[in-house]
Chain A
Amino acid sequence: MAGLKIKYTKTERARQKKILKVSERMLPLFEAMEKSLMASVNSISERIEQIREQIEQNRLAARDWVAVMSDSWVDISNFISINKIISKPVDVAGVRVQQFESVDFELMPIGEETPLWVDDAIILMQNQLQLLAEIKCLQEQIVLLEEELLDVRARVKLFENRRIPNAKIAIRKIGQKLQDDERLTIATAKVVKTSKQKELSP
Chain B
Amino acid sequence: MSNLVYLMSSLPSLSFEEIPPISLSEFNQDAKDQLSGKHFHIMESTDIQMDISNTAESGSGAVNILLSEVYQDISELRKAKRHNRQAKLERLPILVTNGNPLVREKQIMHYLWEELDSIESGKRFSMTELMVYKLKLQILWRLNSFNIDAGAAVLDSVVNPSKKEEVQ
Contacts and interface: CB of A to CB of B under 8 A. Distances in A.
Interface of B is mostly: helix
Category for how many chain B residues contact A:
35 or more
Contacts, number: 98
Interface string B59-83: 0000000000001101101100100
Interface stretch (B9-17, B34-42, B118-126, B156-164): B156-164
B159 A125 contact: yes
B46 to A, nearest CB: 15
B150 A117 contact: no
B154 A116 contact: no
B113 interface: no
A66 to B, nearest CB: 4
A116 B104 contact: yes
Contacts of B111: none
Contacts of A124: 155
Given A64-B102, A65-B102, A73-B49, A115 B74 contact: yes
Nearest to A81: B158
B49 A113 contact: yes
Q: Which of A69, A119, A129 has the most CB atoms of chain B within a 10 A radius of its CB?
A: A69
Contacts of B51: 113
Contact of A76 (B49, B75, B147, B158): B158
Contacts of A73: 49, 142, 145
List 4 A-B pairs, minimum CB-CB distance, nearest first: A117-B101, A70-B150, A72-B145, A65-B102
Given A66-B102, A70-B150, 5 more contacts: A65-B101, A71-B142, A119-B78, A121-B155, A128-B155
